[in-house]
Amino acid sequence: MPVLYLTDPEEAATRVQALVDSGAILGADTETTGLDPRAADLRLVQITDGEVVLVLDMAKLGAPTVLLPLEGARAVFHNVQFDLGFMLAAGVRLREPSCTQLEAAALTHDPMMSLAKAAERFLGVSVEKEQQVSDWSAPELTEAQVRYAAMDALLTLALHGELMRRIKNQRATRGFTLVRSSIPAIADAKARGVLLDRVAHGDLVRDWTAQREAALGTLRAVIGPDLNPESGPQLAKWLDANLEDGPRASWPATPRGQLATDRDTLEAFADVPLVKPLLDYRRVSHRLKTWGEGYQRHLTPEGRIHPGFLLLGARSGRMSCRKPNVQNLPRDPALRACFVAPEGYRIVAADYGQIELRTAGLLSGDPVIRAAYEGGHDLHREIVARVTGRPVAEVTDAERKLGKALNFGLLYGAGAATFRKRAKVDYGLDLSQEEAEQFKRVFDETYASLRWWQAEGQREAQARGWIKTPGGRRVNFRDPADCYTDSRNYPIQAAAADLQLLAIQRTHAALLDAKLPAHLVNFVHDELVLEVREDALEDTAALIQGAMTGAFLDLFKAHDPEPLARGLVEVGIGPNYAEAK
């Protein structure tokens, strides 16, 4: 197959335009001088229709105008977010990109499969990657580098054909289209990044550092000077030797037989005197490493963080985030206030209210859940009233926390012991085992239709091994024979993931069409976070409300969703993320 290494701008522009005009799906790849598009350069862009490979040397072609025809191309990359980051930095915005890494994830639930691994698994081709780490900033590239670059584009195109054939055979093309259509919005959000108040965050880091040192001093007085408080095996051995018989007898063990030292276990035993100083240290140490030092390592000189959003990051299809994670923010107003809008802008946070419970009510048809949302009632207060036997009007704000623990803790079929533990860890509620069992019994009786639907779902999961989501995606169970929890979790979480994807792409498209000065910057659970210029706040809020509500009504149209759309989208505005909540 011809490989054309292009360094003449006129010839490159002509050939790129001709390839795009053919209407063919193009395999594409890039080679760069580094990993960060804000600090490194785009060296090569390779595109192929399967008949010829164009290798564009951007160091010699100069201005990236030769790439502009690709904006309207049907181009498929592997690890598309990396390539789009460099394309956007060059001023090129692809409207319909696809990604073989995402296609593989749709089939395998592995969101990080490399091109080499995918080619070997799906094409039976072994790929040599030695040239990947060669010097792409060299004035003259070698013939081996050019051949390597061309081969990656060809492999991507071949892989795309095979993966989409398999997705089509699973009747999941519509579901993958839902995922693919979200790619441009995610790329734009990563490119813009979230803005951090350096001063406020620096003050917070210093405060956490002082708290950690104080907590470590207190802990050392208990565990001695030699034990490493970050070492699970050392802590397990120490706890085994020092715990009193009562907590020691009920303390869970790891598969290897040593005492568990994870966060949830420590939180469940927070009242044990030996555990409290250890837990205090672990809490502040985790805050400092994750949201303090971790964020500072990724700050750009402009004060922004450009996280890696991972579509299909979880098996359910939920998005994840890495390097660093800006989605799992604790409910700490001081930290959330560090995420700010630039001058002349405001943070807008648009959240789907209680979407997992609404989704459960829609898919199961549970009349109690539906009636609560249709009537504008508070489902958390209502379940507290049922378990306590008191009128809803008498349920206090403090008691409502029990309702959240019940609805969110028991929704996916947890047993009484697990519910009791989660109520303690997540909500600070001390329940006896008898209370937990009674509350679970009332919950199951109250939402009887939900429980029946979940039992039927488990039987279907065991028989088929997979489910189809409202958006048309296929989600496979790890172990269909043992899927009690997953068969209750995946249908709801996967549907909520579909909704988030649809809301993201519709909001992004509507903002571009309206040419509003508003930018998606983060996705926190079921919430979209934007930076919006002050003079466009009203128009943007209305647009988001419409896009998110429309996504909900369209995705769940088979389940009569309109009555449950009351109070669906909550929009907050503020100078920072804390005040926009």
Span 246-293, pLDDT tens digits = 899 999 999 989 999 998 899 889 889 999 999 999 999 999 999 999
Per-residue confidence (pLDDT) for residue 409, from 0 to 100: 94
Q: What is the pLDDT of residue 157?
A: 98
**In the predicted model, is pLDDT for residue 75 greater than 80?**
yes
Determine the distance from the C-alpha atom of residue 248 to the mean position of all C-alpha atoms in its chain, rounded to a whole number.
Answer: 37
365, 453 in Cβ contact below 8 A?
yes
> Contact at 8 Å (CB) between 578 and 337?
yes
φ, ψ for residue 497, nearest 5 deg: -65, -45
How confident is the model at residue 131, as a pLDDT? Answer: 75
Phi-psi region of 471 (alpha: psi -120 to 50; beta: other; left: phi over 0): alpha
Percent of the chain with pLDDT over 70: 100
Q: Return the structure tokens found at 460.
A: 């279907």
Q: CA-to-CA distance for 50 and 26, rounded, in angstroms?
A: 8
The predicted pLDDT at position 407 comes to 96
> Which residues, in sequence order, are CB contacts of 183 under 8 Å at separation 6+?
80, 81, 84, 97, 98, 99, 102, 311
pLDDT band at 457 (very low <50, low <70, confident <90, very high): very high
Amino acid type, 134: S
Helix axes 100-108, 143-169, angle to 10 degrees: 40
Alpha carbons 489 and 415: distance in angstroms, whole number: 14
Q: Does residue 129 surpass a pLDDT of 90?
A: no
Sheet containing strand 304-305, strands side by side: 304-305, 194-196, 339-340
Residue 127 binned pLDDT confidence (cut-offs 50, 70, 90): confident
Q: How far apart are CA 532 and CA 573, in angstroms?
A: 9
Pairing of strands 466-468, 474-476: antiparallel
The structure tokens listed for 218 are 């207190």
The residue among 118, 126, 152, 146 whose CA lies nearest residue 134 is: 146
String of DSSP letters for 136-184: TTSSS--HHHHHHHHHHHHHHHHHHHHHHHHHHHTT-HHHHHHHHTTHH
DSSP code of 328?
Answer: S
**Angle at the Cα of 421 from the Cα atoms of 418 and 425, rounded to 5 degrees:** 135
- CA angle in degrees (0–180, nearest 5) for 563-402-404: 40
pLDDT at 482: 94
pLDDT classification of 581: cutoffs 50, 70, 90: confident
Query: Is-contact 231 237, C-beta < 8 A?
Result: no
Mention every residue, 6+ apart, whose C-beta is less than 8 A from residue 115.
Answer: 78, 79, 100, 101, 127, 152, 155, 156, 159
Which residue spans within 33-106 are E strands per DSSP? 42-48, 53-57, 75-77, 98-99
pLDDT given at position 449: 98
Q: How far is CA 169 from the centre of its chain?
A: 27
Averaged over 90-94, what is the pLDDT? 96
* pLDDT score for 133: 78
Token pair 């956007």: residue: 88
Edge-to-edge strand list for the sheet holding 569-574: 518-524, 527-533, 345-352, 569-574
DSSP 87-120: HHHTT---SS-EEHHHHHHHHHS-TT--HHHHII
For residue 381, pLDDT over 90 is answered with yes
Q: Which residues contact 38 (CB under 8 A, 6 or more apart)?
A: 89, 300, 306
Residue 132, pLDDT score: 79
* pLDDT (tens digit per residue) in 490-539: 999 999 999 999 999 999 999 999 999 999 999 998 999 999 999 999 99
Question: What three-state secondary structure class fits 376?
Answer: coil
**Which H or E run contains 305?**
strand 304-305
How many residues are listed for the chain in this entry? 581
Does residue 325 contact residue 308 with C-beta atoms inside 8 Å? no
Q: What is the pLDDT of residue 128?
A: 82
Question: What HEC string does 206-271 produce?
Answer: HHHHHHHHHHHHHHHHHHCCCCCCCCHHHHHHHHHHHCCHHHHHHCCECCCCCECCCHHHHHHCCC
- Rounded mean pLDDT of the chain? 95
Instruction: Spell out the residues 6+ positions from residue 518 whose beta carbon is closer than 8 angstroms to its own.
Output: 348, 511, 530, 531, 532, 533, 536, 540
Band (pLDDT 50/70/90 cuts) for residue 425 is confident
Give the contacts of 67 (CB within 8 A, at least 6 positions apart).
16, 45, 56, 87, 90, 92
Please state the pTM of the whole predicted model. Answer: 0.94
* C-beta separation of 35 from 47 below 8 A: no
First-to-last C-alpha distance (Å) of the chain = 56
Residue identified by tokens 């994750």 is: 290
**Res. 61: pLDDT tops 80:** yes
Burial class (CB in 10 A: 0-12, 13-18, 19+), 217: exposed
The structure tokens listed for 192 are: 């813009």
Among 357, 412, 365, 355, which Cα is nearest to 558's? 365
Sign of the alpha-carbon torsion through 315, 317, 318, 322: positive
